[in-house]
Amino acid sequence: MAYPDGLLVDGEQVVMHKHPHWKLLIVPVLVLLVVVGLGSFLASLVSIQPWAPWAWLGLGALALVLVVWLTVVPVIRWRTTHFVITTRRVLIREGVLTRHGIDIPMSRISSVQFRHTLLERLLGCGTLIIESASEEPLEFDDVPDVERVHSMLYAEVADES
């Protein structure tokens, strides 16, 4: 999904648009599978009871709450988190109902670094660290293909100079 052009200034073009790494979706998917499996098992256990319809209703309600809270919300949060590099700035947008974001002009970026653990290297993600005129460096976790993002951002900063 491309970043909306209406949010860019005149002459600005998107160089890269990413969501957080897919590893953030592993736990929500596992929760979904466990809830469905356990719910089905419990529903089959109570099926011979005279109060089975009430138990099924309770199990369904509990499963719905768990799936929405532990699967749907994290997936929507992942989908609505954007890491965008344009020709003029770095934009980070997060949030579903309430949104917040950070814009860092290319001219204010003094250095770009990345780091990743062995597991992150195997998964192809890492942490991007951007130092700018602010007091502390900004760290962005779970950036997919962090080395490529680092190289592209460095190239955009060098072009801006």
Position 2 scores a pLDDT of 58
Instruction: Kindly report, residue by residue over 3-60, the tens digit of the pLDDT.
Output: 666 778 888 889 999 999 999 999 999 999 999 999 999 999 998 889 989 999 999 9
- Give pLDDT, residue 140: 93
What's the average model confidence in pLDDT over 103-118?
A: 92
CB 86 within 8 A of CB 10: no
Q: What is the pLDDT of residue 21?
A: 96
Mean pLDDT across the stretch 94-122?
92
pLDDT at 3: 64
Closest CA to 90 of 148, 157, 144: 157
Give percent of the chain above pLDDT 90: 72
| Mean pLDDT for the stretch of residues 142-147 | 95
pLDDT band at residue 133 using 50, 70 and 90 as cut-offs: confident
Average pLDDT over residues 115-142: 91
* CA dist., res. 143 & res. 116, Å (int): 10
pLDDT of 6 reads: 74
- Work out the mean pLDDT of the chain and round it to a whole number: 91
- What is the distance between the alpha carbons of residues 108 and 99, in angstroms, rounded to a whole number? 24
Q: Which fold has domain 5-19+82-160?
A: PH-domain like (2.30.29)
- Answer yes or no: is pLDDT of 83 > 60: yes
Give the residue from 44, 42, 138 showing the smallest Cα distance to 89.
138
Please enumerate in sequence order all residues whose Cβ is within 8 A of that of 64, keeping only pairs 6 or more positions apart, or say none. Answer: none
Of 68, 70, 62, which is closest to residue 24 (Cα–Cα)?
A: 70
| pLDDT at res. 9 | 85
- In this prediction, residue 158 has a pLDDT band, given cuts at 50, 70 and 90, of confident
- At 161 the pLDDT is 64
Where do the structural domains in the chain lie, given as residue ranges? 5-19+82-160, 25-77
